[in-house]
Amino acid sequence: MNYRHSFHAGNSADVVKHSLLIALVRALQQKPGALTLIDAHAGCGLYDLDGEQAQRTGEAAEGVRRALADPNPLLDDYRAAVAAVNTGTDRHLYPGSPRVLSQLLRPQDLLILNEKHPEDAMALRSAMRGTPAAVHERDAYELWLAMLPTKTPRGVVVVDPPYEQTDERARVTATLAAANRKWAHGVSVIWYPLKDRDTHVRWKQQLRRLGIPKMLTIEHWLYDYEQPGIYNGAGLFIVNPPYAFSQGLPDMLEALRAALAPEGHRGHLTADWLSA
């Protein structure tokens, strides 16, 4: 595996993903029942934006740096999550999904993290020291199914693969189908990159054929027209999002779009039901 998130930490995809994860979990926590939060591709947990790898790409400048400078109060929870891992006004550390999720835990909630890459798993354990998170070092798709149904009545599974392998989308599709058979009421969040529309349209058609009744697709196209052969944005598939989350989504998406639009582009950040 060559993909390392430390090169991409704090980019526009992270801003959208983590902002929406916070909103999703908070919506679920409007009910007092315990939640199990599972991150199947957890990464290192914490990243240094001043480090050599992050500086090599400079992607945080178009992501978290823009969000921190934007005045829209709808991004306050996201900015607070970033501030929580830093001291004073310094913002050189960036929380991956594990640290973001750990900040949201209530006493009754559980956090299960998984990272297959040995070096990143070691860094993850260090980053999560002092939290109640359980850390695994397993194949993400095997763990995804093994943890279902969750011990608590409700839960969220976050799936954030690197999409380096040619069969990655097929593995996500097959595992989601199996997970839905075991845990039809559970909430699943699947991140994906947007590189070309044709590939994405074909994948959505495959997912639609699974017949999952309630699947939301959120697409963030950074540019006003497709840029061939490069990263064009990212999105999320969310299975069984709670009503409170869906209700507040349009305003949140517009705030994120406005904050992250590259110079000279308006961009598009939309949400649609993949299946009715």
Tell me 30's DSSP state.
Answer: T
What is the phi/psi pair of residue 48, to 5°? -100, 110
Considering only CA atoms, which of 251, 230, 243 is closest in space to residue 273?
243
Report the amino acid identity of residue 4: R
Q: Answer yes or no: are the C-beta atoms of 9 and 96 closer than 8 Å.
A: yes
Q: Answer yes or no: are the C-beta atoms of 144 and 38 closer than 8 Å.
A: yes
Angstrom CA distances, 14 to 26, 31, 44, 165, stand at: 18, 27, 14, 21
Other beta carbons within 10 angstroms of residue 80's beta carbon come to 11
> Which residue bears the tokens 């011990």?
151
Residue 160 is among the residues annotated as catalytic for this protein: yes
The catalytic position among 39, 70, 120, 160 is 160
Burial of 145 (0-12, 13-18, 19+ CB in 10 A): middle
Q: Write out the two tokens for 214.
A: 């309630």
Burial letters for 90-129: b for 16+ Cβ neighbours within 10 Å, e otherwise? Answer: ebebbbbbbbbbbbbbeeebbbbbbbbbeebbebbbebbe
Burial of 198 (0-12, 13-18, 19+ CB in 10 A): exposed
- Distance between CA 1 and CA 255 in Å, rounded? 34
| Catalytic residue IDs | 160
